[in-house]
Structure 1
Amino acid sequence: MARPRKAAPNLPPHIDHTLLPVGIYWDPTGRGRWYVRPPHEEGYGYRKKTVAGPTARMSDLHAIMEARQGEAQRGTVAVVIDRHAESLAFAQLKPSTQAGYKDYAGAIKAYPLKNGTTLGEATVDRLTPGFIRRLIDVIAQGRPGQKPGDPAIPGYPTKANHWLRYLRRVFGWAREHDHVTTNPATGIKQVKEKGDHRMPDVDVFRRVQAYAKECSARGPRAKGAVPAYLWAAMELAYQARLRGIEVLTLTDAHVDGEMLRTNRRKGSRDNLVRKGAQTEEAIAMLRARRAAIWEKNGGGDSDPGRGPLSLRQPGRGAVDRGRLADCLGAHDAQCGEGRRSEPGRAVRAAQPETPRCDGYQGRQESGQWAQDGRDDARL
């Protein structure tokens, strides 16, 4: 028969040591803590594992020991997450979403708590909204190292919000299926995330641009070749912070001496960008490419009989006099044939402010082009 337990000098006064569950022990050092002795991972001896602090109630200690006994773990964060991963709701998600949730699940179950346990071992019904709030704030703000000399853990606001949304979803599903009775993540507000800086560093951009320029010289049929205009389009987009559609709709009219005038979308205001040597080189390259394409098809920029064309839908129609080859277009519009060539992005002719034509004007809704000799040809 086991000897009766003796009360420790600093045992919490609300704990009756004669009613403690089997297998849980009190450590009187410091403020005190409750621990268990699971077998050591290396196969010999035991190790102490903290499961609760000095403020734990008798009911908490009994629940902890019940949760550590096989099927009695029902209702813990780890078990609820595993049940959700086996559910129909999880199976109906996209594969990419499932992969993301699996990453969250592994990190959440292994997240260490101050009492020496992990978040996966915590019982969902014993968690409070305040606990979830503090958890999300710690992840968003970061925290110092757990031991002296340990590096500080940086904050990740985006990660905190991802965890919050995932926990809210899992706990809500578990409540609907009677795995738990509460959802402590309900009503918790997300933290403010940092603005996403979408532009790469200059040195990184220059290396990528140099590689694109190298690949553009390989020829149209060579392995790894890219369109010759790609590096120039990259330069305009990077220097002027342009969207793709804003690069496509630049015209000669937007080049004003040493400045480049933007044509913003989505309500953004236009602005002037001072051109540097790289920008001048990109503009000159696009103009030279346009002139070469026009010259190849029987005319040039200075040909008075061939005005620039307003291109509505590349590759779907033609006019009886000349055409504008798409320097950055999805197709090359072949005059009279509608024949397609290599894919790319289009820098098309500017639309006339007042629809006019000299002897011919196609209908816009039919995909034809309207000719206006006064239009400024786009870069």
Structure 2
Amino acid sequence: MKKRGRTRSSDNFPSHIKDPSKLPSHTWFNKSGAGKWMLDFYDAAAGKWRSKRIAGPLATMAEIWQAFDAQEAKSETTFKSLSLDFQNSLAWRDLARSTQDDYLGCHEKIINCKTASGSFGDQPVSKWSVGTVRSYRDFRAEESRSRANKELSYIKRVFSWAYEYEKVKDNPAKGIKKLTVAARKHYAEDDDYNFLLQVAKDSNYWYMPIAMEIAYLCRMRLAEVVDLTDADERPEGLYIRRRKGSKDNITEWNPRLENAWKAAKDMRSKILAEKRIPPRIKPEERPIFISERTGDRLVVSSLKTAKARIDQQAIKKANELGIEFNHFTFHDLKRKGVTDTTGNKQEASGHRNASMLNIYDVKPSLVRPAGE
């Protein structure tokens, strides 16, 4: 590593620093503005020298040494610190809220994943290699291939951003492929759906049974349900703003959908009234699903947590009653909705091609024998 040093002269330091030779190595005084104490450090991840402020102009020799020691202890960039830097960047702020929520979950899993020498989050990124990323992907795949792929995507996103902003000198995640994941084909039977719906109604999560109904009836993803606002209410039906390349459409009103929509709006009005929060003027700024605790828009992670807890309650209740209950995911509600749709399923689901539709239309077709 190339050495770096600065000529030390009493002219370059505040008068209260009597002996500059006793300063920590690579510290110097920047006289611009009010002045500040700086530390030069070698960033192994980026392969270059950097400087950072460690103290104000009035810092004593002892305080400068304390600041130096503190910086020395955390000067090496780890995946955790790099990931947190990314979450404070413009690139992060440009992401959709649902993507941020998903990435935050990935961040927690990655930094807390244990290795023989500690955790992935605490490993210096200068020591990360293609093998490190591949090993993490394969390790997580033992539990869930889909989660391994999601977390790999986050690692790729962080390193790609860091490379663009010269925070790392290479990208160890480049070229690492996602694992093949078989498309889920589970269909939630009516008995399982109705059983879980009743458990949700009996729970403390007012929004879960309503969200389940709307997701099923309108063939929606969880994030699309959370996005619903008053602006989506139309005379002819509910406007569905679809994600992941699907085409927006309108689901016509029927008594069941009207009841679910009214229940959500009534509960929202009750929460806002109790908290004395005036409704926003613009309909697109009035989310249908809000937190009973804060009155703010619900986030995807809250519904995922609620769904997991209701699943546990349902399994426990089924065991107590001695009945069979087959667990299904929230996303299976869209699959059930598409499968149960009569008529043009592709148009109803918003899928742009038949291959996308085939993932969701999971029941075999009932056909007549030949010759009839």
TM-score range, shorter chain: 0.3 to 0.5
> Per chain length, whose mean CA-contact separation is higher, i.e. which structure has more relative contact order (CA < 8 Å, sep 6+)?
2
Larger Rg: 1
Q: TM-score normalised to the size of structure 2?
A: 0.37
Q: Counting helix residues as a fraction of each chain, which structure ranks higher?
A: 2
